[in-house]
Amino acid sequence: MHCLCSLFDQILIPQAVMDELLTGNSEINELMQLAGCYNVISVNASARLLELSQWLDRGEAEAIELALVRQLPLIIDERKGRKIALMKNLSVIGLAGLMVLAAERQYKTPKAALELLDKAILSGFRLSDQLYQQVKETLLKIDH
């Protein structure tokens, strides 16, 4: 939670994503308030949102719509959502990219960033072996 606030001044979270987060962890709201950089945003219905909802779950559709409306980069890991976001010319970053960014900006050591990524993988986060090796090599090249 706090790592993202170190990387970004403000993180906008669509209401649908917040609803998904609360389903998995009732304490998430309190953690986000303590971190201080998160803002939950209602996303207005639109034809584009309706179209996105035909292909993606509600949270991903709202996240892409919010990024498009506000012209912001998007944090997303789900493969189909990333593909659609890229087709819509959005700048996207996922957990692996966030770990590299945290190490580059010296918020995490490269070792700590890789350990966090490893923990996520052990908890069920999916990352191709090729991308994992790429991220590992990139992190090993970062000097602190």
Nearest to 81 by CA among 14, 4, 6: 14
CA distances from 60 to 34, 55, 64, 79, 141 (A): 25, 10, 6, 11, 33
CATH no., domain 2-93: 3.40.50.1010
Q: Where are the domains of the chain?
A: 2-93, 95-141
pLDDT in tens, 49-88: 999 999 999 999 999 999 999 999 999 999 999 999 999 9
Q: What SS3 class is residue 83?
A: helix
pLDDT in tens, 109-144: 999 999 999 999 999 999 999 999 999 999 999 975
CB < 8 Å & 24+ apart, contacts of 15-23: 15/40, 15/41, 15/42, 15/43, 15/62, 16/43, 16/58, 16/59, 16/61, 16/62, 16/63, 17/59, 17/62, 17/63, 19/59, 20/57, 20/58, 20/59
Residue 1 has pLDDT above 70, yes or no: no
